[in-house]
Amino acid sequence: MSAAPESRPPLPPFTRETAIQKVRAAEDGWNTRDPERVSLAYTPQSVWRNRAEFVTGRAEIVQLLTRKWAKELDYRLIKELWAYTENRIAVRFAYEWHDDSGNWFRSYGNENWEFDEHGLMARRFACINDLPIREADRLYHWPLGRRPDDHPSLSDLGL
C-alpha cells in the first residue's frame, strides 16, 4: 500500500483569497529560518533558480537555505501577491538582514511559483537585488519569527 501524497493547502486552482493565503504561508515559513521545515513546502524534485544559483530537490534547497541564513542574519521577510492563475503565483518581496560585520541590507525581489495538484511548489524562480541601508532606515522591527498581522504590508510601507 503506497503512502498518501503530501498535501499543502490551499490547493490549486487558486482564487485571489487562496493565492493570498498561499503567499502568507510561504512568508511565515521563510520567517522561521528553518531550512528543513521550509523545504517541505516544495516537491521532492522542485526546481529553483535563486539569484544565479540553480538547485533541484529538497536536499539542495536545505543546503541553499542553510547557507543563506548563516549569512543573512536577523532575517525578516514580507511577501505580497502580485498575480495568480490556476496553479501559478507571482509575488514581490522585500527582506531586511545584516551580515556578520553589522552591515544592513534590504533585499528586493520577485518570484514566480508553479504548484502541483497537491499544493507543493514544483518550480520557483527568484530575482533578487540587495540595497545597503543604514540601521536607522530599517522598517522591519518585529521579533524574529512570524510577521505580526497588524504590521504594514509592502504596499503600506511604500516598498
Helices marked H in the chain: 16-31, 35-39, 58-71
Residue-range definition of the domain harbouring residue 91: 16-137
pLDDT in tens, 77-127: 999 999 999 999 999 999 999 999 999 999 999 999 999 999 999 999 999
Sign of dihedral through CA atoms 27, 79, 82, 113?
negative
CB 84, CB 90: distance < 8 Å: yes
89: CATH: 3.10.450.50
Name the pTM for this structure: 0.96
Residue 119 included in any domain: yes
